[in-house]
Structure formats: C-alpha cells, structure tokens
Amino acid sequence: MAKRSGGLRFQPSGGQKKQQIPTGKKQRLSVQRLANDGRGIAFVDGRTWFVEGALPGEEVEARVLTARSQIVEARSERVLTASTQRRIEPCAHARVCGGCTLQHLPATEQLALKQRSLAEQLSRLAGIEPQEWAAPLSGPEFCYRRRARLAVRWDNKARRLDVGFRASASQDIVAIHECPVLVQALQTLLPALLAVLHALDKPQAIGHVELFSGTAEAVLVRHTVALAEADLQRLTAFAHEQSVQLWLQGEGAPQPLDTAYALGYRLPAWDLELAWRPGDFVQVNAPVNEAMVVQALEWLAPEAGERVLDLFCGLGNFALPLARAGAQVVAVEGGEEMVERARTNAAHNGLNGMHFYQADLSKPLVEAQWAEGGFAGVLLDPPRDGALEMVRQMTTLGARRVVYVSCNPATLARDAAELIGQGYRLKRAGVLDMFPQTAHVEAMALFERPE
C-alpha cells in the first residue's frame, strides 16, 4: 500500500489552485465599504481587496501592492466613478505620502469612521458597549501637528538628497515642499530648512530631522557621523536667522547647541508650563490634548484632597493638572529619567506636594509602597500595547473611577473586558481625534465600580 503523507493539503473548490496575483497588476474594482483603517474593501474572484484611497460606491482602477492567499492590498490610481463624499485633497503629496491617508474623506466622515472603529472593537473583542457615547473631541483639520520627523536620505546614484516622509506601504521617501498638517510656525520654517539641508557639503551624515513647536521652535538634526565644520556653521546660521533652537544628536542623547534657552509646551487652562526635549513623548495635537485633559479631569472628578493615581505619567501631562485641581497625586512612569523630568516640571510649577515613582508597569506591583493606601481614582495613558497587568490589579488599588486614555482600541477593548470582569461598568467612551486626515484612533473610557 502506498505510504500516506503526514500532511494535509487543501485546494479551493474546483480542485485547482488560484493563480497568484503579481505585484503591480492593475485591476478594476467596485468598492463596497470602508475598513477600520480607512481603506476601501472590494471583492473579486473570492479574494478580498483592501484599497488605499478608495471610497464606498466608487469604481476605481487599483494597482496591487501585495497579495497573499485570499487578501490583496492595493492602491487606487484612477477613480473611474467617484463617490459623492469624495473631496479634492488639500495637500499636493496626499496620494503618495504615507502620513495622511484620509484627506479625500470629509472631516465629519473621518470622525464617523473612527467612532465605528471604536464601537466595533469594544463589541467584537469585549462584548460591551458604554452606557453613554461621548461626543468626539476634535480640533482643526489642518495646521495641528506640532511635532514631526522628516526622513533624510542621500541617493548616491542620482546624487540627490531626498527630504520628506515615507511613502505609503514603502520605505521610499516622498520629497515634500509643503505639509498642511504642520502648525503654521513649522510650515513657515520648512522652506528654509529644506534649503539649508540641500546646501550641505556632506548631507550623507544626516539620519533624520525632527521639528517641534511649543514655547519655542526647535530643530533636531540626527547625524550618523560627525558633521563637517562648514555644515555645522550653515546649520547654526540657519537656526539664528530663523530664531529656532538647534539640537544635535550623534551617538548619545540629543543636546541643544545653546543651553541658555528653555523648550517646552504650555497647558494654559491650568497655568502650567512643562519642559520638553527631543526624545520625550508629547501629544502632537495641542488643542485636542488640552481638551483631552479637561475631559479626563471632568470624568475622574477628583474632590479636593482625594488620592489619585496617574499611571504612565510621562512629563506630567495629566498629573500636574490633577494636582492643580486639588487632588493628592501619585504619578508613576517606567523610566527613571522621565520620572525625574516630571518631578522637575512639578517643582517648576510650584506643585511640591506630588509624589513620583519609577516602576515597570508591565509587571505585577510587588512590594510597591506607593500603591498602598488605595486611591479614589486611577488614570491610565499607556502605550499601544495597553495596560493589562495594571488593570488586572485595579481592585487592589481600590479605585471607584478609572479613566483609560488609549491610542489603540484593540488593547483598550481587551483591558476593558478585564475591568468588567472585576465589577467595573463602562460608563462612558468617546473618540479623541488626535490625528485628523489619518485613520489613527485614540479614545477615552470611563469605568466606574458600584459602591
């Protein structure tokens, strides 16, 4: 008897394997609906196509980016029949730059997409819905981004310096001459910055450039080898002419060329100024950030003297306003350097009664003295992978109210299910439109535990 194979083989109905779709192939598609990431969805020959730049109801000609099994990723290159929702993108680079993927969709529809994405994740992954949906927090559609990183690459073959953002689904650099999502101060600065970079003798030394606008404008130049003296002089002259702070970063941490000037951002509603330096996390959208802090304090509703715990506190973006509101704040962050920076920010603003601690928040709170005594409320603002270990210990912290600020609805839903299992109720949830023109979803959720 013939020896049987130990593996199982599956074939599509009909007994023949489907032909692989080559990268670059063009295909006419009828788009049915939008995915949560803003791509159009179409179906052809049993395959699902995810199409960048396409809207429901449209007929488009798309080019294949990648294809695997039953999934094809593509980019719309020609709109044959346009949706009534489609608008002309305000940015000349919109269709090739990977930074903004939804400029062809009106702002109201972008918000609706993000709201649907949050609701779907909470329902599908956690089986829950908030008792109340909060109105989305939003700000200006454009001129909102106060921090950005520009990719820099010297093309030796073409003898050309490319400065811009990564192309969609590619490592290629889209050389830009404008960026309407940047705050106006950075848009004004951009032409002079591009000019000085193109004038460098040794542009091969530049890795990337970062821009920041806060209490001052700053430019960080990341260099992989030592800068030529003439190039350093050019950059210094540029910074002086444009009245910006110049920061340099080689092998170590970023360093300002002139240490006499402060750099940071303000939270005017609480008369606070927080020091910031390149490498620190900061919310890029100042108006939405301030609205987010206002809402977090309203939802947490600390009474004067109540103990509140701020986990993943960063520079003190939530902790300092909480203290200004009269709460007794314990703030915790993973890195000692960031903890010290938050502590300095508190002292600079005259908030000397706060307590800051360093702890690995991805691990159980073993012998953490700062966690003892209980808290009336807990605020969490974790990175994309969420705060599962912290929410597993929430009842031990004694919090009646938990405000969870999330940059990933999937991990928010996962952690929400854990809190529901501990007896909390999802009282309220809503979208924070921190990144207009993109499908990126940030959210805030309020959990309460019955007395």
Per DSSP, the three-state class of 125 is helix
DSSP count for the chain of H helices, then E strands: 9, 23
Q: Which amino acid does the sequence have at 46? A: G
The span from the CA of 401 to the CA of 448, in Å, is 5
Q: Among 250, 171, 148, which Cα is nearest to 205's?
A: 250
> Among 100, 179, 313, 407, which one carries the catalytic annotation?
407
Task: Verify whether residue 91 is a known catalytic residue.
Answer: no
Q: Among 442, 443, 440, which Cα is nearest to 99's?
A: 440
Written as six digits, the tokens of 88 are: 């002309």
Burial class (CB in 10 A: 0-12, 13-18, 19+), 358: middle
8 Å CB contact between 281 and 298: no
Written as six digits, the tokens of 241 are: 């002419």
Per DSSP, the three-state class of 115 is helix
75-104 exposure pattern, b = at least 16 Cβ within 10 A, e = fewer: bbeebeeebeebeebebebbbebbbbbbbb
The set of catalytic residues is 407
